[in-house]
Amino acid sequence: MAVKNIEDLEKKTKVKFKNLDLLRTAVTHRSYLNENRSYKLDHNERLEFFGDAVLELVVTEHLYQNFPNPEGELTNWRAALVNKDMLSNVSRGLRVENFLLMSRGEAKDTGRARDYLLANALEAIIGAVYLDKGYGAAKKFISESVLIHLDEVIKSKLYIDPKSNFQEEAQARVGITPNYRVLSESGPDHDKKFIVGVYLEDEEVAQGEGVSKQQAQREAARNALEVKDW
């Protein structure tokens, strides 16, 4: 893979790094080192480990200081903000995918596998920001990239599993328990794609797609909530 101009990613983070090698390391997957033995830097797993802890602390601090809600609610909100789905979406918004250094094989992976790479890279970037600029800079970066989604998490109830949410709404509103059916299954074992429909009795409400049946069911439930405006 061609090495992208890391300064372009630096601009997207809005952090002026003293040591750009930290940012380069943050987007270096372990597999890249296997194909590029002369590469001078490490892979991003240690930075990811560090950034994960910083992210959780910043989010926890923000929730504790700004919301008087019970622990259980705060825990659910935090989980929705720091899970792989949210972090991979944030990572895509920063165009981190354009800067990932990985093997040719990893570069072909899509779907859930790519989401994990992107989420892990974002955590590594957070670790890099902290090590380069300190807690304040990391907090600012997390606030502007992750915590800005908190209102959406609360308003759209993203902290509740969409299957549970749709089931509760369906039972309360129409007295029916949803059922799910696999409509199609395609792709090789390492890159499956499932399309699942969610039904209220025989009425198909919505469909969802995923790399597992469970993910496709969650997407179907999420889409059904939008279709029904529940």
pLDDT digits (tens, 9 = 90+) for 54-70: 999 999 999 999 999 99
Q: Are residues 84 and 141 in the same domain?
A: yes
**Catalytic annotation present for 52:** yes
- The string over 64-80, giving b where at least 16 C-beta atoms fall within 10 Å of a residue's C-beta and e elsewhere, is eeeeeeeeeebebbbeb
Q: What is the CATH number of the domain that holds 40?
A: 1.10.1520.10
**pTM of this structure:** 0.77
**Averaged pLDDT of the chain:** 92
Q: Taking residues 187-197, what's their average pLDDT?
A: 84
Q: Does 1 score more than 60 pLDDT?
A: no
Q: Of residues 48, 106, 123, 219, which has the active-site annotation?
A: 123
Quick one: pLDDT band at residue 26, thresholds 50, 70, 90?
A: very high
Q: Determine the pLDDT at residue 111.
A: 66
Q: Any idea what the CATH number is for the domain that residue 201 is in? A: 3.30.160.20
Out of 121, 155, 189, pick the residue that ends a domain: 155
Rounded-to-integer distance, Cα 142 and Cα 12, Å? 13
Between 162 and 16, residue with greater pLDDT: 16
Structure confidence at residue 197 (pLDDT): 97
Task: Say whether both 73 and 19 belong to one domain.
Answer: yes
Tokens of 34: 């296997």
User: Which residue in the list 52, 106, 115, 132 is annotated as catalytic?
Assistant: 52
pLDDT at 2: 42
- pLDDT score for 115: 86
Residue 81 pLDDT exceeds 80? yes
Q: How many domains does the chain have?
A: 2
Cα–Cα distance for residue pair 120/51, rounded to 1 Å: 9
Residues 131 and 168 in one domain: no
Mean pLDDT to the nearest integer, 167-176: 93
Domain range for 64: 7-155
- Lowest-confidence pick of 109-113, 148-152, 153-157, 189-193: 109-113
Q: Is the pLDDT of residue 109 over 80?
A: no
